[in-house]
Amino acid sequence: MNLFVNIALSDTLKTSLRQQLPQDVTPIFRHELPNEEQQAAFQSANLVLGNPPAAWFDRPLPNLTFWQLDSAGFDGYQSVKVTAQVANMGNYFAWPCAETMVAGLLAFYRRITELVLLQARHEWVGVPIRARTGLLRHKRVVILGTGTIGQAVRQMLRGFDCTVTMLARTDPQAELHSADELKAVLPKTDIVVNCLPGTATGFFSAELVAAMRPGSLYANVGRGSTTDEQALLLALQSGQLGGAVLDVNAVEPVPANSPLWSLPNVLLTQHTGGGQPDEDGGKIALFLRNLALFQAGQRIENAVELDRGY
């Protein structure tokens, strides 16, 4: 069997993968092939690790039996039709993403972003900054999405005694289920944390941005496409919103001429939220566990249905 590896792995990880694969599986690394040979190698593969271009699925894949995505999200593949079993990374990125959001929120309340700039200028301000600090403790928070990232954010914020309300369209355990219900609570909300998948494109609309409490914070670690970024930008420029922590954006990389770069109340974390030590090694470990389960005819971890979005 051929395994098509779409991830650009280090030589050390390539060696490790080769050593751990069953003897009947031969890895083919995309980035070792000339560009003109990559798609053909993918189409002949029995197994796939990683996220190949969606356009490559337009041709038949008669040999593909198991596909391990290297991401949690897979909204870019909703129109892809495969008969193979498919798995995503589950909660692998949940805790790093949650930590990034909480770190960004703390940075605003504790004036860390301002203090870093002062340190770079060797400028001591000290006491006057104390009056501008705030507390994450006891804040009223709405988390959009009850997936693994949203759950991890909620667990962390409970450590700060925050009041946390969850929104999800179909999850019966969520307190909110629609944009109208969300709009009703936004005027009394201190923080909105967006953990929505790409299937919720445009959900956080200009109307919802306008409904947010003056001085409140907005954080997004879901997908940039879920937010009306222009409306958010205007609210940040006008001072209606106190700040935004944006791990994802409508266009990535953020264009060099975007005002988001220079706004003092915006923290761009550049889609690094899921980063963690030995990130690719962890992806390989999950793939190998799932491959063993698949070959044994057992249920794979984090199985997903592409057309349903989960």
Query: Average of pLDDT values for 16-36?
Result: 97
Query: Average of pLDDT values for 187-210?
Result: 96
User: Mind listing the pLDDT tens digit for each residue in 201-232?
Assistant: 999 999 999 999 999 999 999 999 999 999 99
Query: Average of pLDDT values for 156-178?
Result: 97
Q: Which domains does the chain have, with CATH numbers?
A: 2-92+276-295 (3.40.50.720), 94-268 (3.40.50.720)
pLDDT at position 218: 98
Strands 266-268 and 217-220: unpaired
pLDDT at position 63: 96
Structure confidence at residue 116 as a pLDDT band (50, 70, 90): very high
Which of 106, 112, 61, 100 is CA-nearest to residue 84? 61
Structure confidence at residue 75 as a pLDDT band (50, 70, 90): confident
pLDDT at position 309: 73
Query: Average of pLDDT values for 13-34?
Result: 97
How does the average pLDDT of the chain come out, rounded? 97
pLDDT at position 307: 79
pLDDT at position 308: 78
pLDDT at position 175: 98
pLDDT at position 36: 97
Residue keyed to tokens 């984090």 = 302
Instruction: Say whether pLDDT at 274 is over 80.
Output: yes
Which of 260, 226, 224, 223 is CA-nearest to residue 243? 260
Instruction: Say whether pLDDT at 310 is over 90.
Output: no
pTM of the model: 0.92
User: Mind listing the pLDDT tens digit for each residue in 241-266?
Assistant: 999 999 999 999 999 999 999 999 99
pLDDT at position 4: 98
User: Mind listing the pLDDT tens digit for each residue in 38-53?
Assistant: 999 999 999 999 999 9
Structure confidence at residue 78 as a pLDDT band (50, 70, 90): confident
What distance in Å separates the CA atoms of residue 209 and residue 206, rounded to the nearest whole number? 5
